[in-house]
Structure 1
């Protein structure tokens, strides 16, 4: 098991399978909140849903509509279980709050260099701890 330490944005505990992207995510026009799928055509996750995943990504891009679209995903039941991100902006911080999912940032090591798709991740945002169990090869 690998352990990362980060700073709490939104508290709580959650665990699940990791979904990782090295590309920032756009809310307005970039995701479909009804399905939780990334719909931005040039994004590496285009067509992939973050529903019930631990979303690991560098941060948000686009307009202030980012938080609204992720809030709509929460209302539709398609939001990720938790989010881990590197670059804090008002968009992603407000998005974390309105999604009401555990969220961490400012890690002791880059989660994008450690966590891979399919790894099992337990996020304890109250304690600032991420536990990663690597997927079986």
Structure 2
């Protein structure tokens, strides 16, 4: 098992298989909150199911409305279990905060930086614990 530290944007804990995206994803128009799948036809991960997985990607992309799509997916249980970013994204952060406050459902969001992101593998299992003091990512290659 390999451990990394990260910066917490939204507190919580999650564990699951890693959904590692090579390109930023916009939840607005790029993610179906009803199914938990990537629906942006131009995205390299088109058709991938993200629901219940730990989503890792360089950053978010696009519209401020993406926060409402993420919050709705969290409410429906079709969101990622947690989100790991290489760069902080205020839109994703707002969506997760709103869902935690309105629905009492956590989707932790952390920033690990590009160096850590480069060490993540799509076939890995990742657990993350994000507190006000920081975050810890534990990566296991066994699935």
Counterpart contact for 1:6–1:128, Cα < 8 Å:
yes
User: Shift in Å at residue 109 of structure 1?
Assistant: 5.8
Separation in structure 2 between the aligned mates of residue 110 and residue 50 of structure 1, nearest angstrom: 23
Q: Does structure 1 residue 8 correspond to structure 2 residue 13?
A: no
Whole-angstrom CA distance in 2 between matches of 1:98 and 1:116: 30
Task: Name the residue aligned to 1:23.
Answer: 23
Report how many aligned residue pairs link the two structures.
Answer: 135
Q: 1:104 aligns with which of 83, 106, 110?
A: 110
Q: 1:122 aligns with which of 118, 121, 127?
A: 127
Q: TM-score, normalised by structure 1?
A: 0.90
TM-score (norm 2): 0.87
**Distance change in 2, residues 1:41/1:109 (3 Å):** closer
| Structure 2 residue matching 1:83: 3-state secondary structure | strand
Counterparts of 2:86 and 2:114, CA distance in 1 = 10
The change in CA–CA distance for 1:133 and 1:104 in structure 2 (over 3 A counts) is: same
Give the alignment of 1:1-137 within 5 angstroms: 1-99=1-99, 100-105=106-111, 107=112, 110-126=115-131, 127-135=134-142
Instruction: Return the offset for 1:79.
Output: 0.6
Cα pair distance change 1:26/1:109, threshold 3 Å: closer
Indicate if the aligned counterparts of 1:60 and 1:92 stay in contact, CA closer than 8 A: yes
* Whole-angstrom distance in 1 between the partners of 2:96 and 2:115: 19
SS at match of 1:75: helix
Secondary structure of 1:61's aligned partner: coil
Unaligned runs of 5+ in 1: none
